[in-house]
A and B are shown apart, each in its own frame.
Chain A
Amino acid sequence: MMNLNHYGAWTLFMRENRRFMKVKMQSLLAPALTSLMYLLVFRYAMGERTVPNFQVDYMSFLIPGLVMMTMLQNAFANSSSSMITAKVMKVHIYFLMAPLSAWEVVLAFLGAAVIRACVVGGLLLLMILPFVSIPLLHLGYIFFYGFCGSVLMGGLGLISGMWARKFDDMALINNFVIMPLTFLSGVFYSVEQLPKTWQAINDWNPFFYLIDGFRYGFIGMGDADPMMGMGFIALATVAMVVACWYLWRSGWKLKE
């Protein structure tokens, strides 16, 4: 028998938001400042150079990629840290005990991941925009890639948190999966500048499509076809949400 608990799902969503707001220096301000540092360093290191194949200055190229990278990392961090902390503190049992369906739990976690990603991304843009002017050509692409990227990474974070048994396991995923894929994805350079092998790997790297498509929304240029990227990302996002639902429903790594 179907039994919905929308208020319960809303409460879990709000609990997740309040959780990251309780540590806002660490969860919001610190990542925005770190990205700002990247920006300053590259601003002075690269000077007035332009990016090959892109007819824009380096700052206009870098800023959208950096904002997206920050959003993706924070979406991942939000759900993964929430889940691994809950598991280490054994609080995850309360999520299992509560009368919430797997859909409701997954939507609450992913919703909060999207909110944190948007808050950090927005904060970063607010810090940058008074000093640098960047174009804003296709809002639809920005919202699509921003939203799907946050859902995708929030989902990956949730699954990683369910899988991990200790914080060290999370560091493993962060350092050996998330960071390499992010840096490979063309945040700081055009992927056309990469050797062919790395370009071939990037063809299957969702981070590449996310950053490229998000950037397209700002400057109207990208390494890949943004429509093809949309299809790839839409499929990956749906697959991720279904995977989260399935794993939560089965109690993977949570129930004995």
Chain B
Amino acid sequence: MYALKTEQLSKVYARGKQALKSVSLEVPQGSFFALLGPNGAGKSTMINILADTVIPSSGVVQVLGRNMQIDPLWCKQRMGIVPQEVAFDPFFTPYEVLNIFSGLYGARPDRVWIDTLLDRLELAEHAHKNTRELSGGMKRRLLVAQALVHKPELVVLDEPTAGVDVELRKRLWDFMRELNQAGTTILLTTHYLEEAQELCDHVAILNEGELLLSGRMDALLRDVAGRSVWFEFAQPLQLSATQQEVFARFNPRIEGHRLILATTHHQQASSFHDAYMLVHHHFGAPVDVSIDQEDLEDVFLRMTRKHQ
């Protein structure tokens, strides 16, 4: 079962800009899903389609198995969305805002849950101030509380931690992790890739409206993330023409005493053994070997640059 599934989702804005190009994405129920992409990749367009503020040009959006175009109210009731832009109701206090949002989603306000949200998002002591008196970080946390107040099954967070300090960010993520462990699906966009790698079990990368990859985070880091193996020798190295040819598939680089080879890892097969055997055959036993693995940020940069 997918919490969210898009099929061939496209959006062309009135000015002609194509923000999404036939994106087919599957967000498994119960996952903590990172939707990544550089600015203008189409992430916010996709989230705005879910929020019903942008009308898709074509394609299908399914929320928990139901078609959003056919059954929008059912789908909306099960989603909580934190928009990227800090939009706050200037007439009310955070406490009133949460009561209103709960009601808008058809749920009578649950005082205990509202107090929990105010407490966990560190807004309790500001609960009865006008929203205009809140700082930028507080307003952003209020947006998160708004999105959670009706206990949605799918929470969509569009850069929820921009402008939130490191400590608060950590506590916010702890809270999100708890919700996720309790069964809530969380779809997140963020520019903090280190956080995404740490938090999320699934990831998708969008670039210029196209879905470049999507899948489990561990599989991405195992199969897609590149590895560089550093072989260190006692003496400086040089590659002959023949050796260049032999090592070509490992994209060899020489840095003084080091030979650096790029190895791959797909499913159960790794090219590490081949690389080591070749190095040993041509240069003898290395004095040291180290492996440098690409993290999510490296993969993200490599993939999005490749498509520019």
Contact = CB atoms under 8 A, between A and B. Distances in A.
Determine which residue in B51, B73, B76, B81 has the highest number of CB atoms from chain A within 10 A of its CB, and name it: B73
A10 B74 CA distance: 18
A90 B55 CA distance: 17
B87 A97 contact: no
B89 A91 contact: yes
Contact of A15 (B71, B90, B100): B100
A90 B85 contact: yes
A98 interface: yes
Interface string B106-150: 111000000000000000000000000000000000000010000
Contacts of B101: 94
Interface in A81-108: 85, 89-91, 93-94, 96-101
A99 B53 contact: no
B88 A89 contact: yes
A7 B108 contact: yes
A166 interface: no
Nearest to B13: A256
A55 interface: no
Interface size class of A (residues with CB under 8 A): 20 to 34
A218 to B, nearest CB: 35
B43 to A, nearest CB: 15
Nearest to B143: A94
A19 interface: yes
Contacts of A89: 87-90
Contacts of A5: 73, 77, 105-106
Given A5-B106, A8-B105, A96 B52 contact: yes
A117 to B, nearest CB: 19
Interface string B72-85: 11101100010101
List of 7 A-B pairs having minimum Cβ-Cβ separation, nearest first? A11-B103, A90-B87, A3-B73, A99-B76, A98-B104, A99-B73, A99-B77
Given A7-B107, A94-B87, 17 more contacts: A1-B74, A3-B71, A3-B77, A11-B102, A15-B104, A18-B91, A89-B87, A89-B89, A94-B146, A96-B52, A96-B53, A97-B51, A98-B104, A99-B74, A99-B77, A99-B104, A99-B106
